């Protein structure tokens, strides 16, 4: 009991055992305080570290690059994230230099940045981003291509010789007598119907090519006998075969083949995807198209009609339901030659009859174009006798329509193709 009590006494007499123990404990504590490492030695990665005296003895002070750990690095939290007044906010990931993926809902409400595509308010009426497909830049290139092709057509028609407009000689062709339509194609849903037949969506079995299959009763179609094309065949088939002789026109639907049956015949054509007829496309765009899109449509239609004229073919039924438009690229295809016919040699036909054919085509083009841009059929004012335009249009478009619907002088295809409205850019 005396020994245990002596260890805890704060004071002791010199020479006693308790005194000796007290001296040893005091020296040990003082040595530990002297050997305590400095702040620089113990600060590693921004934290203090306590070392035992044995490890610190003789250890040099290491002065290296200071690295920050996860506690000392700036990482924003919900309470430290900086926000900025206005429509933009600094996201948490922007502080640390990373991009943040936004949901479509956030992007719709976020205003556009400079240097990017136009805002929806700047897009012309009747023309949207989905219709434009790959953007205004590609649309401008396509327009330049069409204007170049139109200029080449005009130069060709100004030539005194007819060598440039000669029709190439076709190879004799007939229907596919060896195989049936069902053996080569899958016939799908009905996609169109008219007075001369029904049109179905189809797929070619060997390669999955989308096609359109038009079935026409033999009683409804007129037959012609053209030895150069293969002899006796339906007139519509002969017209499409004549137009498909290379070089073919990309603005006319491509003819693939046809099948003859006891009660009906089938015409297989290309089926562009995605596409709509021009009538339904204008409805989707709000009932009318912008002048820019209407310009692209007219340029392609004029090139298709020039090709028909060079091959001696008259379409006979120009209107918006007989034009397919690819909704992504705005490329147009002229379809349905059921009302078409072959142009005869002018030396066997009077000039008055030729004028009637041309005038009918021009009136069809003009009425369709007016309806596409204005959303209504053309109507003349009772007071002034001039055309009424229900919406704001350019002066060049008004001049083109006034000249197309003139009761005295009408325009030709060449004059429409060279009109200033088609040269105007938006």
Catalytic residues: 317
| Torsion, Cα of 212, 213, 216, 222 (10° steps) | 70
Q: What is the C-alpha to C-alpha distance for residues 253 and 275, in angstroms, rounded to an integer?
A: 12
Q: What is the C-alpha to C-alpha distance for residues 177 and 229, in angstroms, rounded to an integer?
A: 16
Per DSSP, the three-state class of 298 is helix
DSSP 8-state symbol, 266: E
How many residues in the chain? 426
Q: What is the C-alpha to C-alpha distance for residues 124 and 285, in angstroms, rounded to an integer?
A: 11
Q: Token pair for residue 260?
A: 């003859």
**What pairs with residue 216 in β-bridges?**
265
The strand ranges marked E within 264-319 are 264-270, 275-277, 313-314
H or E stretch including 169?
none
CB 312 within 8 A of CB 343: yes
- Whether the link from the prior residue into 274 is cis, omega within 30° of 0, is yes
Pairing relationship of beta strands 264-270 and 210-217 according to DSSP bridges: antiparallel
Handedness of CA 365, 370, 371, 372 (dihedral sign): positive
Q: Token pair for residue 359?
A: 């005038």
CB atoms within 10 A of CB 319: 15
Q: In Å, how far are 62, 290, 387, 388, 396 from 294, measured between CA atoms?
A: 77, 6, 19, 19, 13
Q: What is the C-alpha to C-alpha distance for residues 416 and 238, in angstroms, rounded to an integer?
A: 29
Question: What's the longest Cα–Cα distance across the chain?
Answer: 152
């Amino acid at each position: 009991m005396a020994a245990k009590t002596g260890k805890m006494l704060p004071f002791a007499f010199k020479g006693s055992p308790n005194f000796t123990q007290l001296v040893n404990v005091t020296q040990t504590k003082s040595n530990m305080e002297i050997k305590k490492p400095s702040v620089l030695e113990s600060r590693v990665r921004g934290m203090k570290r306590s070392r035992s005296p044995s490890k610190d003895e003789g250890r040099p002070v290491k002065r290296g690059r200071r690295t920050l750990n996860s506690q000392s690095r700036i990482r924003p939290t919900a309470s430290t994230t900086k926000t900025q007044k206005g429509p933009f906010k600094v996201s948490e990931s922007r502080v640390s230099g990373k991009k943040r993926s936004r949901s479509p809902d956030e992007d719709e409400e976020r205003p556009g940045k400079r240097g990017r595509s136009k805002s929806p308010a700047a897009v012309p009426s009747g023309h949207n981003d989905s219709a434009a497909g790959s953007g205004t830049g590609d649309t401008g290139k396509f327009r330049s291509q069409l204007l170049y092709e139109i200029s080449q057509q005009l130069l060709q028609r100004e030539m005194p010789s007819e060598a440039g407009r000669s029709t190439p000689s076709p190879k004799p062709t007939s229907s596919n007598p060896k195989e049936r339509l069902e053996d080569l194609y899958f016939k799908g849903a009905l996609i169109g119907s008219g007075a001369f037949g029904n049109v179905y969506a189809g797929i070619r079995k060997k390669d999955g090519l989308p096609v359109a299959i038009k079935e026409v009763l033999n009683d409804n179609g007129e037959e012609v006998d053209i030895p150069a094309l293969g002899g006796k065949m339906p007139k519509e088939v002969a017209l499409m075969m004549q137009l498909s002789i290379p070089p073919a026109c990309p603005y006319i639907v491509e003819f693939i083949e046809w099948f003859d049956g006891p009660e009906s015949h089938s015409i297989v054509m290309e089926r562009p995807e995605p596409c709509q007829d021009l009538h339904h496309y204008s409805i989707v765009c709000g009932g009318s198209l912008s002048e820019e899109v209407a310009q692209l449509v007219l340029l392609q239609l004029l090139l298709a009609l020039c090709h028909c004229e060079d091959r001696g073919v008259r379409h006979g039924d120009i209107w918006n339901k007989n034009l397919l438009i690819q909704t992504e690229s705005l490329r147009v295809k002229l379809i349905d030659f059921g009302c078409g016919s072959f142009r005869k040699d002018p030396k066997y036909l009077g000039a008055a009859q030729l004028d009637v054919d041309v005038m009918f085509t021009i009136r069809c083009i003009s009425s369709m174009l007016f309806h596409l841009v204005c959303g209504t059929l053309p109507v003349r004012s009772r007071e002034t006798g001039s055309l009424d335009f229900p919406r704001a249009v350019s002066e060049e478009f008004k001049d083109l329509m006034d000249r197309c619907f003139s009761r005295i002088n009408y325009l030709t295809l060449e004059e429409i193709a060279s009109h200033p409205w088609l040269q105007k850019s938006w």
